[in-house]
Structure 1
Amino acid sequence: MVRPLLRQLLAMAIVGSTAGCLITDRVEFEDPENLPPLIESMAPPAAKVVRLDRTRSEDVSFACQVLDQNEEDTLDARAFLDFARDEAIRGVTEVVQSESDARRRSVTASFPPDLFARGCHVVEVDVIDGGAAGWDPGGQTRFRSVKEGVAKATATWFVLAYDSEGDPRADISLESCP
Structure 2
Amino acid sequence: MGYPEPNKQFIFGLYWKFAHLREQYESREITVFLEKALASGVTDCPKNITSIHVIDCIGKNEPVNNTAIAEKMELSKASITKISTKLYEDGFVKRTRLNDNKKEIYFRLTSKGKKLYELHDKLHKLEEERFYRFLDKYSSTELDFVRQFMQDAVGEMEQKLTT
TM-score category, normalised to shorter length: under 0.3
Which of structures 1 and 2 has the larger relative contact order (alpha carbons within 8 angstroms, sep 6+)? Answer: 1
TM-score under structure 1 length normalisation:
0.21
Q: Say which one has the larger Rg.
A: 1
> By percentage of residues, which structure has more helix?
2
